[in-house]
Amino acid sequence: MTQKILLLSVSAGAGHMRAAQAIEAYAARDGGGPAALALHLDVMDFVTLAFRKLYTDLYIKLVNKAPALWGYLYHATHDAPRDGSMQRLRRAVERLNTRALMARIAAFQPDAIICTHFLPAELLSRALRQQQLACPVWVQVTDFDLHRMWVHEQMQGYFAATDEVAFRMRHEGIPAGRIHVTGIPIMPAFAQAPDRVSCAQAFGLDPRRTTILLMGGGAGLGSLETVAARLLALPGDFQLIVLAGKNATALAALQVLAGQYPGRLLAQGFTSEVERLMACADLVITKPGGLTTSECLALGLPMIVNSPIPGQEERNADYLLEQGVALKAFDAVTLEYRVRLLLEHPEQLQSMRAKALALGRPRAAQDVLAQVLRAGAVLQ
């Protein structure tokens, strides 16, 4: 029997959405008749404009303009008493602004719900306590850390990125039998590494040359074009791919720079082929978000993580450094030093690659979906 799976995320940062999209993609892959009909909803589509601006716009402004303040709030909310005044006020505001979401859930009548953000998990925990919801609710944590805002009563189960995150879950009182170490869900395209040669040729790159992929500047490193120019000035026979995303100004500047370094710089705007560009790379320079770094691990890509946001990105960076799959750059000078080091010591790059491959969980989304469907089959 086909089970109806509802995926709830929040568009405050892209990672929560991408994790839900990955699980949704696996639900749609079974050509012999899917065992799941998946629906993905952004909780922010069901709240007032004022609440959406408060919850998403304020988050984006804080992490970009006042990261230290965000770090303080991250730790303060983790350590705050569960029944403290700040926590009670936050929960009351959330309840007042999400009635439309509860109506949409009732209309879909899911057999199970998977939350890839803590906000819907908290809302549904209350609904379960008050018997306003009958189906099981699962929680997918999307970082290599556990903040207490993810931990709620009445949840059917939790999916953790690592054994350490699972340990922290048990410490917070989640029963061991409800914890599943699956990794962080990433798209099916990462489950099998694309062929480097064909991908490089398709993008006009030389598959034999060392290739660096730059996925983000800022936060002390400078603009993308500034970082790219500094990297291209380094000695060594390597080529550089730079992803500018939707930043048209940066893309135009990078294209001018590419003309000054023929055959050495590929500037890309927004793309749906990130896995094919990653397949061309030997090293990635990126912010340490849970989803992006999980994609890198799945393809065995060493990383230089730059200027992590205090809080979850800082914890992600710590994990990657401890595992020997990443180095850290906190400014442009450090970045240059790290890149020089790895270019001059390819054996270190190869060692990091082997460790990354060993850590990667390319089928995390498939494993999450399978666990939810198995549990649902038992309940049916």
Per-residue DSSP letters for 268-330?
E-S-S-HHHHHHT-SEEEE---HHHHHHHHHTT--EEEESPPTTHHHHHHHHHHHTTSEEEES
Contact 289, 316 (CB under 8 A): yes
Distance, CA of 380 to chain centre: 32
Express the helix, strand and coil content of the chain in percent, nearest 5 each: 50, 15, 35
Kindly report, residue by residue over 204-213, the tens digit of the pLDDT: 999 999 999 9
Whole-angstrom distance, CA of residue 224 vs CA of residue 66: 20
Sign of the dihedral defined by the CA atoms of residues 123, 128, 133, 136, in that order: positive
- Burial annotation 175-196 (CB, 10 A radius, 16+ → b, else e): eeeebbbbbbbbbbbbbebbeb
pLDDT band at 308 (very low <50, low <70, confident <90, very high): confident
Q: Which amino acid type is present at position 293?
A: T
Is 80 exceeded by the pLDDT of residue 58? Answer: no
Q: Has this prediction a pTM greater than 0.95?
A: no
Q: What is the dihedral of CA 135, 140, 145, 149, to 10 degrees?
A: -40
Tell me which DSSP letter residue 150 carries: G
H, E, C per residue of 174-209: CCHHHEEECCCCCCHHHCCCCCHHHHHHHCCCCCCC
pLDDT score for 193: 86
Kindly report, residue by residue over 187-229, the tens digit of the pLDDT: 999 998 899 999 999 999 999 999 999 987 544 455 888 999 9
Contact 16, 142 (CB under 8 A): yes
pLDDT score for 48: 79
pLDDT score for 373: 94
pLDDT score for 220: 45
Q: Identify the CA nearest to 108 among candidates 23, 4, 27.
A: 4
